[in-house]
Structure 1
Amino acid sequence: MAEQGFLKQKPGFATIAIHHAQEPEKWNSAAVVTPIVTSTTFKQPAPGEHTGFEYGRSGNPTRNVLEECLAALDGGRHGFTFSSGLGATTTLLGLLKAGDHILSGDDVYGGTNRLFRNVAAAMNIETTFADFTKPEEVDKAIKENTKLVWLETPTNPNLKIADLATISKIIKNHGQHIIIVVDNTFLTPYLQRPLDFGADIVVYSLTKYMNGHSDVIMGATVINDDELATRLRFLQNAMGAVPSPFDCYMVNRSLKTLALRMEQHKKSALVIAEWLEKHPKVTKVLHPGLKSHPQHELAKKQMSGHSGVFSFKHSGGLQESRKFLSSLKVFTLAESLGGYESLAELPSVMTHASVPEPQRVELGITDSLIRLSVGLEDTEDLIQDLEQAFSASF
């Protein structure tokens, strides 16, 4: 099958997810499941002295367990959680100052694009968008004041793959001061570990696969560098975009099944992508696990397979897309991705509506591009649902 030939899985992933930083001996009760500590403040033995915790924004026992576990899953030393994925991205902007330059991938999550174009620009931080599938473009786009490089691989929603090792080498040749950030939301550390390929920071919307149950909004970053981690720990506390203890408990719970869930997402999505590729109404399927994907061979070198998110283009236009999406019965028409339930959406008017139209046109985010997030339902039921939607729409 097309999924064969990908990078071998890192050993011990599921064991780390279940046990790391959450030994029952850490708690007086010896609870096997990490307790939820809801207290916003902690008693101090003397003024200005504390036993590890002082105020809930600055640190929380439940949150600390999750952060340590997340770091271990990515092979990193430091983990940080935030109130949302965009909360993590906004906090990372705190590493910059007026006059700095961001080099970003052109095909990124619409919220990231909006944050850079509107919010960062208002802080006098300039952003250039480049095609990261072309390393020579990246090399040319770096400026003297470039301080942050932001990329997704695979991208959202076109599933383009960037060569992480090559890109990292190019950027570091321009100076070690440039911070390389990789949004790894689509794959999770189960399928890709950007730190292994030269990234400085890995960022996640934990809302998606890491939580996987569509009931928590949260973000995270993982870092190896101690100095950078110290800066980010200060910003996490100073800017205050932190998650609740209960949400941290929920994500920590969900990590226990991440390996199992990603295996099923991976398998089901590939079967559906192969089916779509043969459908008479489909003109293109964008899935890195297919041999037809332009960066399929590159994907196999840095990924351990692909998740349940991919896109396809059909032969119709906006009218057919609307009818198709409204006709789905098992897939739910909704934004987001990575949950146990299958979702379908139209990026041009939903997740990427905030991207300027000229940029959408240039990227190929047309009204015939549909993004799927394949969940954990029976694969045959999902295929039948897509088939009946095609029949109702064309």
Structure 2
Amino acid sequence: MSNVAPPPPPPPPPPPFDHNVSALNNNRYEHYKDFQGLSRFETVVLFFLAIFIVVLVVICYKKRAKKKHADGKLENQQQPSGGSQGNGATLEIVCEGTSVLASVPSKGTFKYDDLSAATNEFSQDNYLGQGGFGQVHKGVLGNGMEIAVKTLKSGSVQEEDEFEAEVENIRRVQHPNLMTLIGYCITSEKRILVYEFVPNKTLEYHLQENVSITLDWSKRMRIAVSCAKGLVYLHDDCQPRVIHRDIKSANIHLKNDYEPLMADFGLAKVTADNITHVSTRIMGTMGYLAPEYASSGKLTERSDVYSFGVVILELITGRRPSFKSDNLVDWARPLLTNALRDGDYSKLVDQRLENEYNHDEMERMIACAAASIRHSSKKRPAMNEVLGALQGDVSKLQEFNVGIRFNHRSKED
């Protein structure tokens, strides 16, 4: 009998099929697929979120750099084109103050057809006058708001984008004593500015043309102080500072309560006459121009001070800046000196006032006028000093009175 090993036992039968385990595995597979799909979605979201954050940081950085650049121009005087540099770049004017445009759309653009309808097609009946920058018509918008529509002279405007940028700068300049620029209109041939309408005409009208009613002293003093506040705002509270450069009684509009609104500030830049070197162009009105500006085109805020001094002289004397063969400044200088020295104002003061004025206020007005029209711009006060003197700062008055002898111009003057 052979010694042969028995065959191995057969393998055990497989366990019965468990349907619960199969379903569990299938569920795990589906969850795994869902997990993979969710991860891809989150990756895409995070990718685009990262790009958005980077773009946002870059934009904020550029805005901050632009603001620093504008702030750095504060001491760089406008020459005389305002907030624009020689390479054509436009600085954004930033001013401290409250807005009076709450009821006006932030984008102050008007359609030409709407302005034409508002002014009765720019009819003669709506014509208000001709200014240094163009014709002005009265208009009434569909909502009943009264406006003054200034059509700038043909051929004296900038390209559309530069014009729009400069006008937006002017719209940011808002003060209770500065006329509000509501908006503008641009066509292929025209540039139009839309202002608030002031019904009581101008200071020039009330001093020179309204023979029936004399502008009393209290109103004249109020006009001087309020205009000085507006100019201090332009010179000190706007960055870069704004030089008006066309201050005159015809640009001072009076509300019904005789509160003044100064107009046409900043317009020299939007009427560039398509020339390259705007800084060489003299803009302003004869009789009001500072000597250094008239002779060389050199413009600083002290040029505005000179022009404002001429307006003060108009308020004191009631005379035009130029009359007959005389110039108001040349006529007034020796009288200012004598008045400050002797206290005799009779030869200087408007006879229509009939000596009805406050003596201390008149002294301050005369002192401010004398200091403001000095031939040397370095000897003129700043506008905030003029305002302080008008409001009664005695120390400012003493400083103004030193060395003023206009009848014999000295070396120090």
TM-score range, shorter chain: under 0.3
User: With CA pairs under 8 Å and 6+ residues apart, which has the higher RCO, 1 or 2?
Assistant: 1
Counting strand residues as a fraction of each chain, which structure ranks higher?
1
Question: Higher helix proportion, which one?
Answer: 2
TM-score (norm: length of structure 2): 0.22
> Given the two structures, how large is their TM-score scaled by the length of structure 1?
0.23
